[in-house]
């Protein structure tokens, strides 16, 4: 959510930003907010005048009572009562207008960074750089589900019976590999000075609306029936929510956290769920990184965070590229975002494994997260990025470490988490 002062003083900037995001249907919201805000400020003036008058009249009541002028005092009391009733009406109208303003402000997109490429959708995203050579071996790489099945590591049929489409059992060395990758990502981030955290996996509605747009919420979140609780789609949600209505000491910034959680997503849309594989599923596990910092430090942290993802995947022998997200592909709260995509030698193309974003003070404004500085309180900036999400990262790992004999090589960084194992071998029946 942007600062209403920007709409008051520079509505053209807000409208131009809406156009850059190809959301022209929201242009009318800017004018509506301006008009509602004018009404609200006029009501505030009326309310302030009534309060001042009430205080003055109340003082006169006491004066007349002391002087024995009871009739005059009663007349003033009647006026004070009438003013109080009018003030209640004004305050009720203000509350109604405040809600109307908030409803519109919540869907007006955040101001994007000037470096963001302009484009309608993800087809306009821009490749920035590549890390590692995207190789295609001279032998066939099977579909990831077949690789996992060949080493006795996947059971989709049983998951279908217990839970339905979009769920899975991981078994044996594949389950161990899945956990090894997450543990390595955790320890890598701890080594970078991040504090490890395991957050709540359910959050209240006011936290959900504080960290994401309504469109994302509807498409992603599972609601717990008859409870004010949602299953998290990523630990960023509860990690940022941890600081709701808090004022942080400036000397404690930046706050750098890395968190583990299961994640739950509806995955509504035309892309569909994976019938056979585990690329797009309802449940997965993820290591995340979250930063709260001063505005002037946000871009430096943004560049550090995505570079951490690159290093993690390169240490897993996975070539990756950085893809700059265009204006139309940015969620409404984001200022700037990039994807880290892993190379798929089977498909001979890249696919998303990490998403790094800086959101300015939008989440902090929604959740009232401030820092206390020498010159007063101010809203912090928030950033988030995927450390590693499995099974998507697991798919990239399997394809890039698959051998011609059907075995899977284990890079050195994962061996301590795999009991020293250097390879996962095919299961012989």
Distance from CA of residue 249 to its chain's centroid?
A: 23
User: What's the chain's average pLDDT?
Assistant: 92
pLDDT of 152 > 50? The answer is yes
Range with lowest mean pLDDT among 79-93, 340-354, 372-386, 391-405: 79-93
pLDDT in tens, 233-251: 999 999 999 999 999 999 9
Judge if the upstream peptide bond of residue 254 is cis by omega within 30 degrees of 0: yes
pTM listed for this prediction: 0.89
Tens of pLDDT, residues 120-131:
999 999 999 999
According to DSSP H, which parts of 165-289 are helical? 172-191, 205-211, 214-220, 235-241
pLDDT surpassing 70 at residue 303: yes
Measured CA to CA, the distance from residue 248 to residue 293 in angstroms comes to: 10
pLDDT of residue 269: 55
Confidence of residue 267 (pLDDT cuts 50, 70, 90): confident
Per-residue pLDDT, 270: 47
- Give first-to-last CA distance, the chain, whole Å: 58
**pLDDT at 349 > cutoff 50:** yes
**pLDDT above 80 (res 294):** yes
- pLDDT tens per residue across span 178-188: 999 999 999 99
Domains parsed from the chain with CATH numbers: 4-105 (1.10.287.40), 122-424 (3.30.930.10)
pLDDT of residue 116: 97
Position with higher pLDDT, 391 vs 396: 396
Q: Are 411 and 424 in contact (CB under 8 A)?
A: no
pLDDT computed for residue 67 by the predictor: 67
The lowest-confidence range among 54-63, 117-126, 161-170 is 54-63
pLDDT at 218: 74
Q: What local confidence, expressed as pLDDT, does residue 412 receive?
A: 97
With 80 as the cut, is the pLDDT of residue 274 above it?
no
What is the predicted pLDDT for the residue at 62?
64
CB atoms within 10 A of CB 231: 20
pLDDT given for residue 85 in this prediction: 85
Q: Which of 357, 384, 416, 382 is nearest to 113 (CA)?
A: 357
pLDDT for residue 189 is more than 60: yes
């Amino acid at each position: 959510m942007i600062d209403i002062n920007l709409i008051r003083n520079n509505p053209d900037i807000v409208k131009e930003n809406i156009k850059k995001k190809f959301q022209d249907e929201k242009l009318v919201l800017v004018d509506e907010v301006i008009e509602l805000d004018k009404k609200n400020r006029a009501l505030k003036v009326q309310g302030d005048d009534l309060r001042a008058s009430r205080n003055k009249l109340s003082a006169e009541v006491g004066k007349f009572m002391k002087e024995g002028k009871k009739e005059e005092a009663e007349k003033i009391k009647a006026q004070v009562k009438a003013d109080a009733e009018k003030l209640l009406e004004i305050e009720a109208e203000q509350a109604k207008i405040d809600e109307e303003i908030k409803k519109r402000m919540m869907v007006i997109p955040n101001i994007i960074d000037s470096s963001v490429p302009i484009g309608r959708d993800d087809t306009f995203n821009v490749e920035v750089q590549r890390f590692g050579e995207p190789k295609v071996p001279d032998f066939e790489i099977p579909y990831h589900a077949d690789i996992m099945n060949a080493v006795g590591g996947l059971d989709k049929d049983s998951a279908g019976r217990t839970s339905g489409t979009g769920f899975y059992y991981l078994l044996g060395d594949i389950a161990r590999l899945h956990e090894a990758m997450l543990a390595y990502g955790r320890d890598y981030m701890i080594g970078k000075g991040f504090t490890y955290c395991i957050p709540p996996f359910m959050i209240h509605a006011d936290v959900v609306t504080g960290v994401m747009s309504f469109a994302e919420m509807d498409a992603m979140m599972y609601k717990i029936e008859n409870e004010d609780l949602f299953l998290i789609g990523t630990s960023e949600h509860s990690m940022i929510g941890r600081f709701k209505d808090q004022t942080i000491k400036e000397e404690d910034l930046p706050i750098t956290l890395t968190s583990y959680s299961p994640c739950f997503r509806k995955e509504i849309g035309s892309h569909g769920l994976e019938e056979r594989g585990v690329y797009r599923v309802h449940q997965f596990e993820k290591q995340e990184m979250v930063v709260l910092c001063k505005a002037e430090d946000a871009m430096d942290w943004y560049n550090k965070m995505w570079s951490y993802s690159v290093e993690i995947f390169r240490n897993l022998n996975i070539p990756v590229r950085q893809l700059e997200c265009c204006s139309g592909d940015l969620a409404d709260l984001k200022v700037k975002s990039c994807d880290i995509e892993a190379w798929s030698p089977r498909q001979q193309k890249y696919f998303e494994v990490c998403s790094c974003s800086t959101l300015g003070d939008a989440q902090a404004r929604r959740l009232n997260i401030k820092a206390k500085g020498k010159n007063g309180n101010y809203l912090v900036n928030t950033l988030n990025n995927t450390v590693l999400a499995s099974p998507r990262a697991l798919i990239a790992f399997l394809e890039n470490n698959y051998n011609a004999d059907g075995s899977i090589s284990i890079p050195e960084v994962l061996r301590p988490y795999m009991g020293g194992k250097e390879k996962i071998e095919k299961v012989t029946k």
